[in-house]
């Protein structure tokens, strides 16, 4: 394999750790803090997790650790969508394991959670790991979206661990994967299997966060990558002054990515799904809002601009959400009649005749391509796949129509020429920023410290992240502490609460305060590419979201 100069250089990068984890490994001891209660539905969570609900938070202090050098084989799983830094979680974990006892082994379960069930297992050695240190991607062992949730799967997982003498499994994943980690931890404890489970908070979406988890890894690098691209587009728009750019960014449900990119680049508009839902804004309301800004800028002679759109938008516009829910039910219940429809026209008429009057009205105003995208294959849970709905194109078409109307009423006198973009996969496997490289390495190293402390059902936690790495605080958070009960596929299930954008939080408030100015004037910021070498204020700073949340 031919290596880029950056890749070669990154192999030698030495990730920073919180100062406590730089001590000699046998002089770090766990300290139990206060016991915890679940985020919600405490009684139900307690009943489902009798062994891991209420357990204490963990921090680390200096002290003689006699248990650390015991031989321990550990397994690791990468679960869900890629996020920059996954390889460094594994590097940190590996280095801590080997520091404690060079005879201990790290096994990787390949292709995501299915690897542990199907025993698709490999030993991760120093030589093998070396070419993945500080690089993006999950290709070291691969990832997958198989859910670990049934007793049969747990039994198979136990069998695989027993085969390799594995006494602890680290699951690197988002809210769903860590929910499953908690269930697996509880299962192993109830069976006295002697297998610990520790989670690590991953997702570019940034929606796995709370008081104890300040940020999920990958969010920093992914948003910096998108912000670089958005900044470049802003500069192009400002140079040519002839296009409106509609840019959809990943993030499934929450608008954290869109908001962070807006804080980094100051576009003319950034839609925040959570606000649209709260205000019960209609689809026409969203379109009108954009058209008004386009018209006002045109009045000032600016027929160009940049709009950021969060991927999950349609599911937050209440009337579109209601339509999607009706379509989900309809397609499940009337699958046969639906499959027999031969033409697009027949399909549209079928839908219009079956949904409520209100949903029929919403369906009618959608551009033809979006109508068909809403009817595309559902995911395994019967839900529409929002990332495949071209919201960017939909808004361009609808705004164009609205502007035509405004023109005929003498309310708009500009030129509207728009281009669409979708930034998602471009950012998920980027070389991790120094922040993500350091944070992920620390999370992995710290995961081993939790294992060596005999703990299970914990999420590796590293806090105080807007300070220099030496001041970061390492510890462990009981996963049950983040859980409540929610409806999933018609059943009440214990899940980690997803963190959406808080409308009274500092990041949104900052955007709200400035958005009018950014809309009408051109206040673009061009962040440029992620820098890996150079002054700390250029290379090591994390997100604007975190800085604002931590008031820095």
Q: Side-chain half-sphere of 251: how many Cα atoms within 13 Å?
A: 37
Q: What residues from 496 to 525 belong to the interface with ligand FBP (CB under 6 A)?
A: none
In this complex, which beta carbon is closest to ligand FBP, that of residue 216 or of residue 542? 216
Interface with ligand FBP includes 81 (CB under 6 A)?
yes
End-to-end Cα spacing for the chain: 43
- Angle (CA) 139-141-147 rounded to 5° is 105
Q: Binder to ligand FBP among 38, 86, 137, 174 (CB under 6 A)?
A: 174
Interface with ligand FBP includes 179 (CB under 6 A)?
no
Q: Which range binds ligand FBP by CB under 6 A, 52-60, 79-87, 225-233, 319-327?
A: 79-87
Q: Binder to ligand FBP among 387, 464, 484, 550 (CB under 6 A)?
A: 387
In this complex, which beta carbon is closest to ligand FBP, that of residue 427 or of residue 476? 427
Strands 196-201 and 458-463, sheet pairing: parallel
Environment class of residue 520 by beta-carbon count within 10 Å: exposed (0-12), middle (13-18) or buried (19+)? middle
Length of the chain: 552
Q: Smallest distance from the beta carbon of 257 to ligand FBP, in angstroms?
A: 7
Q: Binder to ligand FBP among 16, 245, 252, 544 (CB under 6 A)?
A: 252
In this complex, which beta carbon is closest to ligand FBP, that of residue 433 or of residue 453? 433
What angle do helix axes 318-333 and 344-354 make, rounded to 10 degrees?
110
One DSSP character per residue, 336-383 reads: HHHHT--SHHHHHHHHHHHS-HHHHHHHHHS-HHHHHHHTSPB-TTS-
Q: Catalytic: which of 95, 176, 205, 207?
A: 205
Q: What residues from 304 to 323 belong to the interface with ligand FBP (CB under 6 A)?
A: 311
In this complex, which beta carbon is closest to ligand FBP, that of residue 195 or of residue 501? 501
In this complex, which beta carbon is closest to ligand FBP, that of residue 116 or of residue 204? 204
Q: Which range binds ligand FBP by CB under 6 A, 66-74, 76-84, 279-287, 397-405?
A: 76-84
Q: Smallest distance from the beta carbon of 529 to ligand FBP, in angstroms?
A: 21
- x-or-dash pattern for ligand FBP, window 83-102, by CB under 6 A? x-------------------
Please confirm, yes or no, whether 236 is among the known catalytic residues: no
Rounded to whole angstroms, the Cα distance separating 142 from 131 reads: 15
Contact 244, 397 (CB under 8 A): no
Q: Smallest distance from the beta carbon of 223 to ligand FBP, in angstroms?
A: 12
Among candidates 181, 111, 121, which has minimal Cα distance to 145? Answer: 111
- Angle (CA) 151-157-158 rounded to 5° is 90
Q: Binder to ligand FBP among 15, 30, 75, 80 (CB under 6 A)?
A: 80
Interface with ligand FBP includes 250 (CB under 6 A)?
yes
Q: Which range binds ligand FBP by CB under 6 A, 36-44, 191-199, 245-253, 528-536?
A: 245-253
Q: Side-chain half-sphere of 295: how many Cα atoms within 13 Å?
A: 20
Return phi, psi of residue 62, to 5°. -80, 140
Q: Smallest distance from the beta carbon of 205 to ligand FBP, in angstroms?
A: 5
Contact 367, 394 (CB under 8 A): yes
One DSSP character per residue, 209-261 reads: --SS----BTHHHHHHHHHHHHHHHHHHHHHH---EEEEEE--SS--HHHHHH
Interface with ligand FBP includes 113 (CB under 6 A)?
no
Q: Smallest distance from the beta carbon of 82 to ligand FBP, in angstroms?
A: 7
Rounded to whole angstroms, the Cα distance separating 511 from 519 reads: 11
Helices (H), 24-133: 42-48, 86-100, 114-117, 126-130
Structure tokens at 540: 């090591």
List Cα–Cα distances, 101 to 20, 25, 97, 448, in angstroms. 19, 10, 6, 12
In this complex, which beta carbon is closest to ligand FBP, that of residue 205 or of residue 274? 205
Q: Which range binds ligand FBP by CB under 6 A, 66-74, 129-137, 250-258, 330-338?
A: 250-258
Q: Smallest distance from the beta carbon of 142 to ligand FBP, in angstroms?
A: 13
Return phi, psi of residue 31, to 5°. -125, 125
In this complex, which beta carbon is closest to ligand FBP, that of residue 57 or of residue 147? 147
In this complex, which beta carbon is closest to ligand FBP, that of residue 250 or of residue 330? 250
Contacts with ligand FBP by CB under 6 A: the residue count is: 13
Rounded to whole angstroms, the Cα distance separating 307 from 255 reads: 14
Contact 182, 479 (CB under 8 A): yes
Q: What residues from 530 to 549 belong to the interface with ligand FBP (CB under 6 A)?
A: none
Strand partners, 244: 305, 418
Interface with ligand FBP includes 205 (CB under 6 A)?
yes
Rounded to whole angstroms, the Cα distance separating 172 from 109 reads: 11
Interface with ligand FBP includes 427 (CB under 6 A)?
no
Interface with ligand FBP includes 390 (CB under 6 A)?
no
Q: Smallest distance from the beta carbon of 483 to ligand FBP, in angstroms?
A: 17
Interface with ligand FBP includes 206 (CB under 6 A)?
no
Return phi, psi of residue 420, to 5°. -115, 155
Q: Binder to ligand FBP among 111, 251, 305, 527 (CB under 6 A)?
A: 251
Among candidates 549, 439, 455, which has minimal Cα distance to 33? Answer: 455
Q: Smallest distance from the beta carbon of 4 to ligand FBP, in angstroms?
A: 24
Q: What residues from 457 to 496 belong to the interface with ligand FBP (CB under 6 A)?
A: none
Structure tokens at 476: 């462990």
Rounded to whole angstroms, the Cα distance separating 437 from 531 reads: 13
Q: Binder to ligand FBP among 204, 213, 451, 469 (CB under 6 A)?
A: 204
Interface with ligand FBP includes 203 (CB under 6 A)?
yes
Q: Smallest distance from the beta carbon of 81 to ligand FBP, in angstroms?
A: 3
In this complex, which beta carbon is closest to ligand FBP, that of residue 205 or of residue 234? 205
Residues making contact with ligand FBP (CB under 6 A): 80-81, 83, 174, 203-205, 250-252, 311, 387, 428
- Provide the annotated active-site residues: 205
């Amino acid at each position: 394999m031919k290596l880029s100069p950056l890749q070669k250089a990154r192999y030698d990068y030495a990730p920073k750790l919180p100062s406590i984890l730089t001590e000699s490994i046998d002089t770090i001891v766990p300290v139990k803090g206060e016991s915890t209660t679940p985020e919600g539905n405490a009684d139900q969570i307690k009943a489902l997790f009798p062994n891991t609900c209420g357990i204490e938070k963990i921090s680390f202090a200096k002290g003689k650790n006699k248990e650390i050098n015991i031989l321990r084989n550990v397994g690791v799983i990468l679960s869900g969508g890629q996020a920059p830094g996954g390889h460094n979680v594994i590097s940190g974990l590996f280095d801590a394991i080997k520091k404690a006892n060079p005879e201990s082994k790290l096994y990787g379960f390949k292709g995501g959670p299915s690897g542990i069930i199907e025993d698709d297992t490999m030993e991760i050695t120093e030589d093998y790991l070396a070419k993945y240190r500080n690089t993006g991607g999950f290709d070291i062992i691969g990832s997958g979206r198989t859910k670990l949730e049934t007793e049969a799967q747990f039994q198979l997982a136990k069998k695989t661990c027993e085969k390799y003498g594995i006494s602890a499994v680290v699951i690197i994943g988002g809210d769903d994967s860590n929910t499953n980690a908690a269930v697996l931890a509880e299962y192993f404890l109830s069976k006295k299997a002697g297998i610990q489970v520790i989670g690590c908070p991953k997702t570019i979406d940034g929606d796995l966060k709370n008081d104890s988890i300040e940020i999920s890894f990958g969010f920093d690098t992914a948003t910096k990558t998108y912000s670089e691209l958005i900044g470049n587009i802003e500069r192009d728009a400002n140079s040519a002054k002839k296009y409106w750019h509609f840019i959809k960014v990943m993030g499934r449900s929450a608008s954290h990515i869109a908001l962070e990119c807006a804080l980094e680049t100051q576009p003319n508009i950034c839609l925040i799904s959570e606000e649209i839902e709260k205000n019960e804004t209609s689809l026409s309301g969203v379109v009108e809002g954009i058209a008004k800004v386009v018209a006002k800028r045109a009045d000032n002679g600016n027929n160009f601009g940049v709009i950021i759109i969060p991927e999950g938008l349609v599911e937050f516009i209440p009337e579109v959400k209601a339509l999607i829910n009706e379509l989900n039910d309809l397609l499940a219940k009337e699958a046969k009649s639906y499959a027999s429809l031969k033409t697009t026209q027949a399909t549209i008429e079928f839908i219009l005749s079956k949904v409520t009057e209100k949903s029929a009205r919403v369906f009618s105003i959608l551009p033809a391509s979006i109508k068909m995208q809403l009817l595309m294959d559902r995911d395994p849970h019967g839900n529409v796949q929002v990332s495949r709905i071209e919201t960017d194109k939909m808004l361009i078409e609808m705004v164009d129509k609205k502007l035509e109307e405004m023109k005929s009423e003498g309310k708009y006198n500009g030129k509207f020429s728009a281009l669409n973009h979708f930034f998602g996969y471009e950012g998920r496997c980027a070389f991790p920023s120094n922040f993500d490289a350091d944070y992920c390495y620390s999370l992995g190293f710290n995961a081993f410290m939790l294992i060596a402390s005999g703990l299970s059902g914990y999420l590796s936690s590293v806090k105080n992240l807007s300070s220099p790495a030496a001041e970061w605080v390492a510890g462990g958070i009981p996963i049950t502490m983040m859980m409540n009960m929610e409806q999933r596929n018609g059943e009440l299930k214990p899940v980690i609460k997803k963190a959406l954008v808080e409308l009274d939080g500092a990041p949104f408030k900052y955007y709200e305060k400035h958005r009018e100015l950014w809309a009408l004037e051109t206040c673009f910021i061009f962040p440029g590419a992620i820098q890996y070498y150079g002054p700390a204020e250029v290379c090591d700073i994390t997100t604007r979201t975190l800085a604002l949340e931590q008031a820095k």
